[in-house]
Amino acid sequence: MPPRMPVARKPAASQTPIRKIGGGPLAPDRVAAILKALDEAYPNAHCALDHRTPWELLVATILSAQCTDARVNMVTPELFRRFPTPAAMAKAALPQLEELIRTTGFYRNKAKSIQGAAKKITEDFGGQVPQTLAELITIPGAARKTANVVLGVSFGKAEGVVVDTHVFRIARRLDLAKADTPEKVEQELMLVLPRDRWISFSHQIIHHGRQVCTARNPKCNQCNLETLCRAKDKTWES
């Protein structure tokens, strides 16, 4: 009996194959191919947190910790209607803030953070969200990731790469980073990516992580990065 011939797998019809790229995982042409594929898949990727001002984005980003952006967007309209400025929120009763943000989880700590941020901005920055990383990370609740979000989205300043759970996971799956903490992954990405892509890369990867490259059972047959990916948990092999 003749041996069975392997059946070649091919991408789904909607997937545009990417030519094989030589060199190691951080080879410039491979990184460029990844960025090109992201541009093709997510040309208009943007921050999913609804906001009108840098202050609203800062608060929304603090609330988004361990919470979905969709849930935050359900909470913030009433929060900002009641307390539209840092000065107003600084004077709010803490139980009022807690009740308004309860459904975002960890609401007691988050209420303290956003009120602390409001007081810091009112007292030390004249009511305006500062535009430097060094100043932003002095604000309660605004660690480096939050600061990078505000700087990139509100001010167009690329001081770092936003590394949320999606960016952390996918950067490692794509071999763009190997570190085991978000802070170290950010430093690796800053060395690999062109600076003019630090902001857009995060938005695109976050969309990709939600829609395709999910934590469990990634939809590799729908991924236009699949031929560039050698992740151990792939569900599809080119």
Write out pLDDT tens, residues 159-217.
999 999 999 999 999 999 999 999 999 999 999 999 999 999 999 999 999 999 999 99
What integer pLDDT is reported at residue 71 of this predicted model? 97
From residue 151, alpha-carbon distances to 44, 129, 161, 177, 232 in Å are 19, 10, 10, 23, 34
Model confidence pLDDT, tens digit, residues 44-102: 999 999 999 999 999 999 999 999 999 999 999 999 999 999 999 999 999 999 999 99
Which pLDDT does position 73 carry in this prediction?
A: 98
pLDDT over 70 (residue 2): no
Q: Is the pLDDT of residue 20 over 60?
A: no
pLDDT 10s digits, 109-152:
999 999 999 999 999 999 999 999 999 999 999 999 999 999 99
Whether this prediction's pTM lies above 0.85 is answered by yes
* 63 secondary structure, DSSP code: H
Q: For residue 202, give the amino acid letter.
A: S
Active site (catalytic) residues: 145, 164
Q: How far apart are CA 106 and CA 72, in angstroms?
A: 13
What angle (nearest 5°) sits at the alpha carbon of residue 131, between those of residues 183 and 114? Answer: 70
So what's the pLDDT on residue 24? Answer: 85
Q: Which domains does the chain have, with CATH numbers?
A: 54-155 (1.10.340.30), 161-226 (1.10.1670.10)
pLDDT at 206: 96
> What's the gap between Cα 177 and its chain centre?
15
Q: Is the pLDDT of residue 1 over 60?
A: no
pLDDT above 90: residue 21: no
Residue 182: per-residue pLDDT? 96
Residues near 200 by Cβ (< 8 Å), separated by ≥ 6? 38, 45
What pLDDT does 236 receive?
77
pLDDT band at 238 (very low <50, low <70, confident <90, very high): low
Where does the pLDDT of residue 12 fall: very low under 50, low under 70, confident under 90, or very high at 90 and above?
A: very low
Rounded percentage of the chain residues whose pLDDT exceeds 70: 89
Residue 6 confidence (pLDDT): 40
